[in-house]
Amino acid sequence: MMTGEAPLNTRRSSNEAAPPGFRALAEYITRELGIKMSDAKVPMLQSRLARRLRALGLDSLEQYHRYLVSSEGAAERPPFFDAVTTNKTDFFREPQHFRYLVESALPSLDPGSDRFWNAQVWSAGCSSGEEAYTIAMTLGDFGAARQRFDFSILATDISQRVLQAGMDAIYEKPLIAPIPEELRKRYLLRSRDPADELYRIVPALRSRVRFSTLNLVGPEYRVSQSFEAIFFRNVMIYFDKPTQERVVCRLCRHLRPGGYLFIGHSESLAGLDVPVRMVAPAVYRQALTGEP
Ligand SMILES: C[S@@+](CC[C@H](N)C(=O)[O-])C[C@H]1O[C@@H](n2cnc3c(N)ncnc32)[C@H](O)[C@@H]1O
């Protein structure tokens, strides 16, 4: 520890006051990212920012906040967003959704096999790409059994670190465990050096996934296409109810009529005024034009 540095003590009792700077940072996080930050998050924020404070030679959350919001602090915002977001994800996480996508959702939107169909799916809050590539593998197989079908996936997140990992598309062996063996054979390449035990998504799938920075609570979504399905899973769990409602309504504007919204199984749209109705666990659908 540097001389004069405030100890980044991660143990605190529940009635202890939040350290100076914590509330200002918490408000900044909620305003910029929509993420709720109660005083219970003090240890988490301290431990996640400890490395940033050391890198900048700062002694306290208060100093860090002052730097972050200053004009010189603009370059600190991406590493700050990397540090404060929770990026847990997996290939084939909540796998029933991928079955639903190809067994129910897409067949209900099929324009007919005499028409060319370029299906669009958005992974909003995509983390390091596992969700987007799972969708890509699922659609790759769906397309192999169908004429005149192609697909594109938009994968967006606020964290540059995870977006870069998604673009690199290289995953360590334990991460690929949930991918069924036959899909691994088709869609993964193993590193040349077997000692590395690294796997890369094949170029044909990588080329169908476009990664982009997008803040779901930011002023505008620079997204022009409309989507057959939007995966918005395990993101709004960190938002308060009004933010959840606003973000879901904004996302739904990018669904094509009859399009589907997938949320995490531990999330709910109950009590929110949103233009979709539940059709399966954690799956919602926008009305087809003309439907009540
Ligand atoms: C727990 S991960 C979920 C990843 C994936 N959707 C899944 O279910 O496996 C949540 C992701 O949401 C992103 N996120 C949080 N707030 C965001 C915001 N305001 N705008 C865009 N992405 C955000 C985080 O960076 C993180 O990568």
User: pLDDT tens-digit profile of 62-97?
Assistant: 999 999 999 999 999 999 999 999 999 999 999 999
Ligand 1 contacts CB of residue 263 (under 6 A): no
pLDDT > 70? residue 194: yes
Contacts for 35 with CB less than 8 Å, ≥ 6 apart: 29, 84, 85, 238, 239
Confirm if 18 and 60 have CB atoms less than 8 A apart.
no
Q: How far apart are CA 209 and CA 239, in angstroms?
A: 26
Buried b (16+ CB within 10 A) or exposed e, 30-52: bebbbbebeeebbeebbebbeeb
Ligand 1: atom nearest CA of 127 is 27
Catalytic residue among 12, 23, 48, 256: 48
- pLDDT at 1 (0 to 100): 29
Mean predicted lDDT score pLDDT of the chain: 93
For the CA of 239, the nearest atom of ligand 1: 16
β-pair type (227-232, 117-124): parallel
Residue 282, phi-psi category: left (phi > 0), alpha (psi -120 to 50), beta (remainder): left
State whether the beta carbon of 125 lies less than 6 angstroms from ligand 1.
yes
pTM above 0.95, yes or no: no
273 in catalytic set: no
Q: Give the start-to-end residue ranges of the domains of the chain.
A: 22-84, 96-286
167 pLDDT above the threshold of 70: yes
Q: What does R_g of the chain's alpha carbons equal in angstroms?
A: 21
Q: Is the CB of 159 under 6 A from ligand 1?
A: yes
Judged against a pLDDT cut of 70, whether residue 177 lies above it is answered with yes
**pLDDT tens profile 118-150:** 999 999 999 999 999 999 999 999 999 888 999
Report the nearest atom of ligand 1 relative to the CA of 125.
12
Q: Which of 157, 208, 233, 285 is catalytic?
A: 157
Establish whether 48 is a catalytic residue.
yes
- Residue 286 C-alpha to ligand 1 middle, in angstroms? 22
Structure tokens at 258: 């009859």
The CATH H-level (homologous superfamily) assignment of domain 96-286 is Vaccinia Virus protein VP39 (3.40.50.150)
Q: Which CATH number is 22-84 given?
A: 1.10.155.10
Which pLDDT score is estimated for 290?
A: 59
